[in-house]
Amino acid sequence: MRTRSQTRNRPHQQVPPNIEPFNLEEPIENQAPPVVTMADQRTMAQLLQAPTYEDEIVVPAITADNFELKHGLLTLVQNKQFFRHDKEDPHAHIRYFNKITSTLKFPNVPNTSIKLMLFPFSLEGAARIWLEKEPPRSILTWDDLVSKFINQFFPPSKTTNLRNEITNFQQRFDESFSEAWDRFKDLLRACPHHGFLELHQLDTFYNALNSNDQDSLNYAAGAIVAKVGTSSSTPDVAELKDMVRALLLDKKNQSQAPATVKAVEESCVTCGGAYSYRNCPAIDGNIYRDNIQE
């Protein structure tokens, strides 16, 4: 019978490492050496090494003397940041950012380098988190940054939907020519990479118009074709654009033309005659006389 003291004094059994056993049915020289699984083979110095923090964007080295970005410029960029809201347009953000940075001129400093330095300050919220999750040193040029930004916040499915809206565009029942043209241009502006040629755009817009506005365009096109030479000539893109501008200008002038004011005919309030009440024969000086005889 074992006592408690004997049980306590027994040495603990060690758990052997996970070693793959030999196959006794094969010669030892034909077997692979046993594999010992290690949890982490890094040294203590490697484990204690601090992680490296590198930016996602690689800005080329700037050799210009005394170059620095002013605080006012950063404030200007941050005044209109992109947050990734549903109604935000990434293309509009790029256009606005290009408009600001294109005015910056520094000697011996490429404009693209300035854009790479400033663009992170134009992002906030989910958009800023997206950029910080990009692999370190993965963005080398401004074109790389724009491409990744657009692909992230303007996915191909959205491009497909907008292309379908452009292709299936139709003038609304209560919509004027100018309103339809503005709405069509808004669709093109919302998807600048739609890939449609200018001639295809104008053809789509023409076919979307009602019969009255199509007749107006045909009339304008006839005048342009007559200038070209014969009525069988086909206007090119520039001529069609001039045609649309001419019609837009004509429609605008019609809508802004002041209404014809009809001349006011004098009428006597006393007797109803075609003259002023001051000339009414029923009035003698300042004395009012009734035109009804008793």
The pLDDT assigned to 288 comes to 37
Domain regions of the chain by residue span? 71-154, 158-254
Distance from C-alpha of 193 to C-alpha of 99, rounded to nearest angstrom: 19
Residue 139 pairs in a beta bridge with 57
- Lowest pLDDT segment from 41-50, 240-249, 256-265, 285-294: 285-294
Report the pLDDT averaged over residues 71-88.
89
Q: What is the pLDDT of residue 126?
A: 94
Q: Is pLDDT above 90 for 167?
A: yes
Average pLDDT, the chain: 75
pLDDT at 185: 92
Phi-psi group of 291: left, alpha or beta (phi > 0 → left; psi -120 to 50 → alpha; rest → beta): alpha
Rounded CA separation 148/123 (Å): 14
- The confidence band for 190, taking pLDDT boundaries of 50, 70 and 90, is confident
Q: Report residue 113's pLDDT band, with 50, 70 and 90 as the boundaries.
A: very high
Domain 71-154, what architecture?
Orthogonal Bundle (1.10)
Alpha carbons 209 and 202: distance in angstroms, whole number: 11
Q: How confident is the model at residue 227 (pLDDT cuts 50, 70, 90)?
A: low
Quick check: 119 pLDDT over 70? Answer: yes
pLDDT tens-place string over residues 230-263: 444 555 556 666 666 666 666 656 655 554 444 4
What pTM was computed for the model? 0.54
Q: pLDDT per residue over 4-28, tens digit each?
A: 555 555 555 555 555 555 555 656 5
The whole-angstrom distance between residue 290's C-alpha and the CA centroid of its chain comes to 76
pLDDT at 76 over 70: yes
- Are 240 and 199 a contacting pair, CB within 8 Å? yes
